[in-house]
Structure 1
Amino acid sequence: MSFPSPPPHEPAQNAGPGQPGPAPQPATGAPQPQPQPQNADARYHAYAPHPHAQAPYPQPHFPYPHVPPRPVPVIDGKELRPRARWYWVGGLTILVGTLTAGLVFLGLLFSATAEPELIAEFQGGDSATFQVDEGQEGHWGLYVEGDANRYACELDTPSGPGSGNDNLDTAPFSYSGMAYDSWRLTAELSTPEPGEYVLRCDDVHPGTYGIGTLEQVASAETKLITGTLVLVILGPLSVIAGVATLIVTGVRRSSDRARLVRERMRTAASPQSTP
């Protein structure tokens, strides 16, 4: 037995004003649109925590007590060893040693290059007579100044006149004064016997001739050697000794200061005994 189907639904014609009609229904099987957030804030609040969630408890803060650094003890310089006077010792060693070496060298240099003590002095073309005593063999020398030289001279001995340079030997020492044209030792006068000797020099080479002892020249050479050794040895040794004294003093005083600081910091850190 069949029943008649209901009539199709028609929109109400008499719906009052202000009353909406029934919403249109989507077709069967069509995808349903998803609600979209109106803005970024709405999308953010979609993942926001629950509004009634309980706030986390505040964590208590326990500040650590501030401990100031332990002050470094101040060490008086008078407590350090070796004493500071050793700095003066090192400095004075350098100063005094250097000055002494320089003064000794200059003194010996001027003494060695002083003018020779002559017993006779004459110009070329002239002659000089001198007396030789017993034991003065090899005691006298010929000094020249300017362009004079030994080859212009002859020496007459008590035994007879000389011939050429027979009685003029090579000088055993070297000597020259401070200036280029000062006195120079050029020959040793051969005086093997006591008596009167005559030295004659021609005027081929202009200059001055003189007769003096060889002893002064020998001492002058010794003085030059001694002065040079003093300058070369004493000067550097004084500098080395003074610098070494300064370095050792500084290092030892620094070590002593560090030791005293450690001891006093250790004493300050140890618990004090109560009476």
Structure 2
Amino acid sequence: MYPYGPPPGPPPRIDARQLRPRRRWFVLAAVIAAVCVGVGIVSFVLTLTSTVDSVDDGKAFTSGQSVSVRIGPDDDAAIYVRSPFVARAHCKIVSGPSDSQPRVTTPESTFTVTKGSGEWERAFVLKTDTDADYRVTCDDPRGALTFAPGDDADLASFVGGIVVTVVVPLLGLLAGSGIAIIVGVRRGRHRRWLEAQAYYGRR
């Protein structure tokens, strides 16, 4: 005999396919996280590759020598110096189209690229209004430096790539986790509601 009535039976079994939101939202959350992490990995690889490729050390030349550099109005070139860069260097454009006005300027910020076993510091930026091949010569008072042409990469573009590498995966993981948590909570509430409906409906 049960003075307060028989004990409650086990909760009704609820088919997972009845629960809302559907489980496909978990898949969507995983896809969002995976895509964002993939974007971060690709961004890191591209940033690292473009930075390393900024220096064409295959065309390196010593003080007093020259090199041919392709320069365009919208695609500035640069001259890098093999570190440690302690001497006062000087570069100038000695040949090119007669109607062009090439300029050699000093960058406002420092930018160093590690390539192989060497470090290269951006020392000069080459600008022109005519897309053509120019011959550039560089020297230093001691005649001891090694130069190399390259692209005018800068710290801002490098930092921008790193920001994408870090921020996009983080946002993707947060978004995916948030969706999964919300869906899990709502499915739990829906399960309890269905169990209550089934339990009281059969009494």
Structure 1 residue identity aligned to 2:17: K
Query: In 2, are the aligned partners of 1:145 and 1:208 still within 8 Å (CA)?
Result: yes
Match of 1:199 among 117, 137, 140: 137
Structure 1 residue 184, shift from structure 2 partner: 2.2
Structure 1 residue 118, shift from structure 2 partner: 7.0
Backbone CA RMSD of aligned residues: 3.8
How many Å separate the matches in 2 of 1:129 and 1:69? Answer: 92
1:178 paired with 2:114, answer yes
Point out the structure with the larger helix share.
Answer: 2
Query: In 2, are the aligned partners of 1:147 and 1:205 still within 8 Å (CA)?
Result: no
1:258 paired with 2:192, answer yes
1:97 paired with 2:42, answer no
1:77 paired with 2:23, answer no
Structure 1 residue 130, shift from structure 2 partner: 4.4
Structure 1 residue 186, shift from structure 2 partner: 0.4
How many Å separate the matches in 2 of 1:169 and 1:130? Answer: 17
Q: Tell me the residue number matched to 2:88.
A: 151
Structure ranking higher on relative contact order (CA contacts 8 Å, 6+ apart): 2
1:68 paired with 2:23, answer no
Structure 2 residue identity aligned to 1:69: P
Point out the structure with the larger strand share.
Answer: 2
Structure 1 residue identity aligned to 2:145: G
Query: In 2, are the aligned partners of 1:112 and 1:221 still within 8 Å (CA)?
Result: no
How many Å separate the matches in 1 of 2:202 and 2:7? Answer: 13
Q: Normalising by structure 1, what TM-score?
A: 0.55
Structure 1 residue 86, shift from structure 2 partner: 2.2
How many Å separate the matches in 2 of 1:268 and 1:137? Answer: 77
Aligned residues with identical type, % of pairs: 23
1:129 to 1:83, Cα distance in 2 relative to 1, 3 A? closer
How many Å separate the matches in 1 of 2:108 and 2:69? Answer: 21
Q: Normalising by structure 2, what TM-score?
A: 0.71
Q: Tell me the residue number matched to 1:268.
A: 202
Structure 1 residue 257, shift from structure 2 partner: 1.0
How many Å separate the matches in 2 of 1:137 and 1:210? Answer: 20
Structure 1 residue 188, shift from structure 2 partner: 2.9
Query: In 1, are the aligned partners of 2:125 and 2:152 still within 8 Å (CA)?
Result: no
Secondary structure at the aligned position of 1:142 is classed as: strand
How many Å separate the matches in 2 of 1:120 and 1:82? Answer: 61
How many Å separate the matches in 2 of 1:149 and 1:206? Answer: 10
Secondary structure at the aligned position of 2:123 is classed as: strand
Q: Deviations over 1:191-217 (max 9, x none)?
A: 6899975624147163311344xxx32
How many Å separate the matches in 2 of 1:93 and 1:192? Answer: 45
Query: In 1, are the aligned partners of 2:88 and 2:141 still within 8 Å (CA)?
Result: no
Show structure 1 runs of 5+ residues with no match.
1-62, 159-166, 270-275
1:154 to 1:97, Cα distance in 2 relative to 1, 3 A? closer
Q: Deviations over 1:50-73 (max 9, x none)?
A: xxxxxxxxxxxxx66784323221
Give the total of aligned pairs. 193
Q: Tell me the residue number matched to 2:100.
A: none
